Amino acid sequence: MAKFVVFEKVSELIYKRVDKSKTSDGMQTVYNLGSGLIAGFAAAAVSQPADTMLSKINKTKGLPGEGTTSRLIKIAKELGLRGSYTGIGARLFMVGTLTAGQFAIYGDIKKALGATGGVEIAKA
């Protein structure tokens, strides 16, 4: 869900500066790729701490009688904020490029179906 919000917001910012009616189909796809890349970066940054903790909890055994919540709290304390972003570079590359490709396709499908702009979430 967050990826779509970021994608649409970035696309809006681009098309506030560029006349969409004068933009070629190829350039619109490039804009979709760029917006998708930024959306992917945002998604990776938001989900990285939870994924790092999930990896840690799956790799280590808990003490007898230790619950999942207490294990997660213990892992979070051990990692700290900086440690929870371990491996973010590779994740940004992976999620960013995959999301860019997905949104390039999404944008082209929207264009083919004649869909305009994004869904208005809140009036400014």
Residue 94 has a pLDDT of 96
Residue with tokens 């590359």: 93
> Rounded to two decimals, what is the model's pTM?
0.80
* Better pLDDT: 97 or 57: 97
Neighbouring residues of 37: CB distance < 8 A, sequence distance ≥ 6: 96, 97, 99, 100
- Terminus-to-terminus CA distance in the chain, angstroms? 20
Mean pLDDT of 78-86: 92
pLDDT at 80 over 90: yes
Q: Residues 6 or more apart from 117 whose CB is under 8 A from it?
A: 8, 12
